[in-house]
Amino acid sequence: MNLGLKEKVIIVSGGAKGIGEGISGVLATEGAYVAIVGRNDADNQKAIEKIQAAGGQAWSFVAELSQPEECKKAINEVVAKFGRIDGIVNNAGVNDGVGLESGNYERFVASLHSNLIHYYLLVHHALPYLKESKGAIVNIGSKTAETGQGGTSAYAASNGGRNALTREWAVELLPYGIRVNAVIVAECYTPLYDRWIKTLPNPEETLAKITDKIPLGKRMTTAEEIANMVTFLMSKRSSHTTGQLIYVDGGYTHLDRALL
């Protein structure tokens, strides 16, 4: 399907690995110019090589997004390269395990910088260009905001904030024709997820228990499935969709009752 994204400049934060890499790849297959923003240029370049091998185009912009000044720098560099911004996918972040008992003020605030504050800052600095293009914003979120997880207060709070910003921005940006939506992830198998599961005492048994709780197909969501939804929401094919939290999770979050 031609989604009308050819040569649209779309920023993907954390776009070099896992879900972000999937998003970057699918956007590029639709002809978008993908600006991958991440802390490691080597990782960015690896993702770019894959995109180019598939016939797409992407560029690396190095920034440590947990540092506020780096967010502004990243936007300035993208604008210097392309002269415009047509969309932002806020994706970068990590479930860092800063809990109520295990954390403290410093770690909690640092986690907010790593998982929430740069969502705000990237859009804040890019807003003049998004107004010009009547662009779109997609925030990637996590089920932890709704279900909780245990031992991850900062990440859950960040994701609650992502959801709230999605709804707030959708209202604030209506006059400019800028659409804002969120894609909520539950269980998606990525290299990071793989590393985490292998730290557990019985990784294969634990993984089987998790996948058995996913109603649709008893399997994990793929990064490509999330990327497909993000790409649709970035496009004019979703031209009357804004302020929505869309769960791409095989029914994990909401079909949590016993299914007969």
Q: Which residues are catalytic?
A: 155
Number of residues that this document lists for the chain: 260
Using CA atoms, how far apart are residues 62 and 144, in angstroms rounded to an integer? 28
**Residue 153: both structure tokens together:** 């207060």
HSE toward the beta carbon, residue 237, CA cutoff 13 A: 14
Cα–Cα distances in angstroms (integers) from residue 74 to residues 20, 25, 62, 77, in the given order: 17, 20, 7, 5
Strand ranges, E, within the chain: 9-13, 33-38, 57-62, 87-90, 136-142, 179-185, 245-247
